[in-house]
Amino acid sequence: MNYVLRALNVSAGEHEVVLTFKPRSIQRTETIAYVASLLLLLAIVGAVAYRFKGRSVVKL
């Protein structure tokens, strides 16, 4: 199959032609990227919480 040039022979009249490109590798990569971003965000929040955990709060 030629992924660069695609053609479709249709008869005269009104048609809707939809050519989609949704490879599984892109979907998997996107899922891995979202999970990695979530883990990084949780690590940052955990590091900030750990840093401020031992501090006492001064009441005025």
pLDDT in tens, 2-42: 567 777 888 999 999 888 888 899 999 999 999 999 999 99
Q: What is the pTM of this model?
A: 0.58
What CA–CA distance (Å, rounded) separates 43 from 48? 9
Quick one: pLDDT at residue 32?
A: 98
Beta-carbon contacts of residue 10 (< 8 Å; ≥ 6 apart): 17
SS3 labels along the chain? CCCCCCCCCCCCCCCCCCCCCCCHHHHHHHHHHHHHHHHHHHHHHHHHHHHHHCCCCCCC
